[in-house]
């Protein structure tokens, strides 16, 4: 599995892009993910997905891709169009995980992002981050 990551917030806030295979092994991946902190500000999921589309152009197309959108579940912009474009990329699965209160998130938006209700994850904060890290490293063979 190949891994890239975009850490995002509002349009004028800092954005970090970790390009494909930024982590050379599971230990490096865990260290990077567990060191991430919330940026704060407005959530602009549309912009993050647009950057994701650009990253998808540089991936190894022979390797399956899993896109995990971790969000507070309420974007300030409409992520529908870039989400639909990502859903159409061959050999790719899109998941969305909401970190906020599961009762307060926009479930319709999460479904728009993934295109599949079974790819929507509702859980809170650090517990979610730990679960995603655990699942990702279990899917990736150690190099």
Position 68 scores a pLDDT of 87
φ/ψ (deg, to 5) at 110? -60, -40
φ/ψ (deg, to 5) at 97? -120, 125
Position 114 scores a pLDDT of 95
Domain boundaries, the chain: 5-139
Residues of the chain falling short of pLDDT 50:
141-143
Position 101 scores a pLDDT of 80
DSSP code per residue over 64-103:
-EEEEEEE-S--SS--HHHHHHHHTSTTEEEEEEE-S-TT
CB count within 10 Å of CB 44 equals: 20
Q: Characterize the bridge pairing of strands 16-18 and 65-71.
A: unpaired
Tokens representing 35 are: 């060191």
5-139: CATH number: 3.40.50.410
Angle between helices 80-87 and 45-56 (to 10 degrees): 30
> Model's pTM, two decimal places?
0.77
């Amino acid at each position: 599995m190949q891994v890239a990551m975009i850490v995002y917030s509002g349009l004028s806030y800092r954005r970090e892009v970790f390009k494909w295979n930024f982590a050379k092994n599971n230990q490096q991946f865990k260290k990077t993910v567990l060191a991430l902190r919330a940026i704060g500000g407005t959530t602009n999921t549309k912009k993050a997905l647009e950057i994701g589309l650009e990253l998808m152009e540089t991936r190894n197309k022979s390797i399956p891709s899993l896109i995990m959108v971790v969000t507070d579940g309420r974007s300030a912009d409409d992520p529908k169009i870039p989400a639909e474009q990502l859903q159409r990329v061959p050999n790719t699965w899109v998941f969305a995980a909401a970190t906020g209160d599961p009762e307060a998130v926009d479930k319709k938006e999460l479904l728009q992002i993934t295109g599949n209700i079974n790819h929507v994850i509702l859980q809170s904060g650090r517990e979610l981050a730990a679960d995603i890290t655990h699942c990702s490293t279990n899917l990736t063979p150690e190099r």
